[in-house]
Chains A and B, each alone.
Chain A
């Protein structure tokens, strides 16, 4: 499925932006360092995924849950990520919920207008 290692790399521009955000103003990053970070990030993603999969399997679950990832991160000594991640997760869940609500209300509105226009055409005829 993956023919070359480069196929796994994350988008370069995104990596560059993230690094820039993390470093103070005026700091520059060598090309080599950026490539190394990109490589490290893709390996990290695969590493965490496979570890959480193993963890989920151990508990006889087939799907990875957010909890599995948090636990894996703690085990891998990246516990410092967990607080901000759970914060982001909460925001994400809220956004998804809001979207669903909006969609639902839109659908209701559409249904209402559809029936309304239906009535209007009926009246016209």
Chain B
């Protein structure tokens, strides 16, 4: 995992720490999302929507916004596109973002 970055040497100790850290993160994410979902609904299934909601809400999960985007409906997306085109500012960045969102939408 870590070889993907331009990191220098990694000691075994740090490797262990990162593993443990990722573990804690996974559990943290699951617990938080589940707690948030249970307070609202009665169902006991953790769904993608709960996660994306949590990511949108918490400031320390900001870096996941692109990774776990909120789902949007196709027609909402089309509406956004139309607005984007009618307004002369059609940023490439914006397009990329919306594309990834529409991809997750099509997964449904």
Contact = CB atoms under 8 A, between A and B. Distances in A.
A74 B30 CA distance: 20
B87 interface: no
Contacts of B16: 88-89, 92
A49 B18 contact: yes
Interface of B: 1-14, 16-18, 20-31, 33-34, 44-48, 50-52, 55, 59-60, 63-64, 67-68, 107
Contact of A43 (B3, B17, B21, B63): B63
Contact of A78 (B17, B48, B60): B60
B24 A81 contact: yes
**Chain B contact residues: over half helix, strand or loop, or mixed?**
helix
Contact of A33 (B5, B8, B51): B51
18 contacts: A23-B30, A30-B45, A36-B67, A36-B68, A37-B30, A40-B25, A40-B51, A41-B22, A46-B5, A49-B2, A50-B5, A53-B5, A53-B6, A53-B8, A62-B8, A64-B8, A73-B21, A88-B16
Interface string A45-82: 11111100100000000111110010001001110110
Contacts of A50: 5, 7
A125 B6 CA distance: 61
Contact of B28 (A64, A65, A81): A81
Nearest to B20: A88
Contacts of B67: 36, 39-40, 43
A36 B13 contact: no
The 7 closest A-B pairs by CB, nearest first: A77-B60, A22-B27, A32-B48, A22-B30, A19-B30, A29-B46, A62-B8
A64 B10 contact: yes
B8 A39 contact: no
